Amino acid sequence: MPIDRAVIPVAGLGTRLLPTTKAIPKEMLPAGRLPIIHHVVEELIQGGIRRILFISGRSKSAIENHFDDYSALLMHLELDGRDVREMGRF
């Protein structure tokens, strides 16, 4: 049975990365043109992961806001030959 789910812990205040994380959550820090979390999600999808669960704090909405319009991600998956009907939010 292949692994098709992943859990990404993104809770916490990022105090070890202060003062940078005072303005932006650690998972949203840029790595190139995109936030770190975007690269993580892309790698998981390329590895066959179909469902991703983020464990975050109450006040963290940056991830949800970033992936709110995930049409670009769906287009990437369609071009890669994946069945996007299997993708969903949970």
Q: Is the entire prediction scored with pTM above 0.95?
A: no
Q: Which of 36, 40, 55, 44 is nearest to 5 (CA)?
A: 44
Percent of the chain whose pLDDT exceeds 90: 6
Residues belonging to the chain:
90
| DSSP letters for 56-73 | --TT--HHHHHHSS-HHH
> What's 78's domain CATH number?
3.90.550.10
Residue 89 lies in a domain: no
Nearby residues of 23 by Cβ (< 8 Å), 6 or more positions away: none
Q: How many domains does the chain have?
A: 1
13-43, pLDDT tens digit by residue?
888 889 988 888 888 888 998 898 889 988 9
